[in-house]
Amino acid sequence: MDEERFMEEALLLADRAAALEEVPVGAVVVCDGKIVGRGFNSRETDKNALYHAEIKAIDEACRTLGGWRLHKCDLYVTMEPCPMCAGAIINARIRRVIFGCRDEKAGAFGTKVDLCEGGFNHRPEIVSGVCEERCAEKLSAFFACLREKRKNSVEK
């Protein structure tokens, strides 16, 4: 199934983020069955609040396709987009958003808020739960490790 295949690519990108000690989120933009944009979180590494996986994947897709309208594209991301990324998705006219696990703290496609219900001029189709357990486990393991590191540094 294509959804799982492209989510696998997003999961590999999440691993790249984790290797940099970034929150492990990865994203790919797909057009006509081909990946045209890739991204992974790098806010800490690049010292830039905008460097979420989705924003970087959308940016690369726009450059690859030569325009900002991505109405023939789907975005696969390991975690539900935040409000900033959801806004970029809507503005780019992305057709479908397929995400793995929900973001209980900042999810903007149904968990904390639903920007699809905001009356904007574009409303992407939302598909959730693709490879959900693997996506959630990657995040859980990352934050457990981070808590352990903080605990150990306080004890020293």
Pairing of strands 26-31, 73-79: antiparallel
The torsion of the CA quartet 132, 5, 75, 114, rounded to 10 degrees, works out to -20
Q: Are 97 and 124 in contact (CB under 8 A)?
A: yes
Q: Which of 9, 22, 54, 137 is catalytic?
A: 54
Q: Is 54 among the residues known to form the active site?
A: yes
Give the helix/strand (H/E) hosting 127.
strand 125-128
Active-site positions? 54
